[in-house]
Amino acid sequence: MNSLIDPTAIIDPHARLDPTVRIGAYSVIEGPVTLGPNCVIASQVKLIGPLEMGSGNKVHSFSVLGDAPQDLKYRDQPSRVIIGENNIFREHVTVHRGTGGDTVIGSNCFFMVGSHVGHNCRVGNGVTLVNSAVLGGHVQVFDRAIIGGLCAMHQFCRVGRLAMISNNSAHNVDIPPFCIVMKINTIAQLNLVGLRRSGMTREHINGVREMFRILFRERRESQLKTNIRLLSPQLLAIPEVREFTEFVASSKRGVARFQPWSEQQSRQAGAADTDE
């Protein structure tokens, strides 16, 4: 056996492992699993095929990737988990294959302890799921989104690019790109730090800020899709503004509403005073 594979590991004969793959003690590779160069599988991990992983992935102990979906409609239909490169799966992460389709994860993602990716999800590049964050079936998460600890996304929802969701909340609507969400289904502000770190130009950031002002702060009582019609051609020419408006226009579950963080805080303080 390859010296990089612990002799207690169980490797299915249908698995295809690059010679540089490391596998720790008591891990199980079951079925048609493909692992690319320099993957590191810690001790007591279970990988279940059909599962394809690119190069440089690291899977920590007690994670299970590729198991059957938690879906009562599942009847052993062919499906896979497809994973890109250089992802980190910390302890107790679970990723389920699809129901009559694939679960797909991009590259350079970070799945912290106990996080879960449900069946048929589509996760982009550079996404972070903090401890115990969970994605229901068919959730789509765009590049570089961050989903906070103990957060839950309802099935078929979407989380836009560079969106950030705070801890301890559950959501059953779409979270648009570039926004920070601090409580259930509620946008608090723009993720300006994330926009700057992404390399977006100052001109484009200012355009997104102007769009946000018009759509949310200036006309809070109006319908969001109606407000989009008020945006000037100059604003709509900015790619990030167009990305935002197209995301909203294509929403099937609806989009999180806006409430300034200051108002959220004052309402919470008022509720606390009432309880006392």
CATH code of the domain covering residue 60: 2.160.10.10
Cα atoms in the Cβ-side hemisphere of radius 13 Å centred on 52: 9
Q: Report if residue 237 sits inside a domain.
A: no
Average the pLDDT over 34-50 and give the result: 98
How large is the angle between the packed helices 202-212 and 239-249, nearest 10 degrees? 40
Average the pLDDT over 176-203 and give the result: 96
Q: Report if residue 81 sits inside a domain.
A: yes
Cα atoms in the Cβ-side hemisphere of radius 13 Å centred on 196: 4
Nearest alpha-carbon partner for 105 in 131, 84, 133: 84
Average the pLDDT over 104-121 and give the result: 98
Q: Report if residue 267 sits inside a domain.
A: no
Number of domains in the chain: 1
Q: Report if residue 97 sits inside a domain.
A: yes
Indicate the pLDDT class of residue 268, thresholds 50, 70 and 90.
low
Q: Report if residue 229 sits inside a domain.
A: no
Average the pLDDT over 141-162 and give the result: 98
Q: Report if residue 264 sits inside a domain.
A: no
Q: Determine how β-strand 46-48 pairs with β-strand 64-67.
A: parallel
Residue 1, domain extent: 1-156
Q: Report if residue 220 sits inside a domain.
A: no
Indicate the pLDDT class of residue 241, thresholds 50, 70 and 90.
very high
Q: Report if residue 40 sits inside a domain.
A: yes
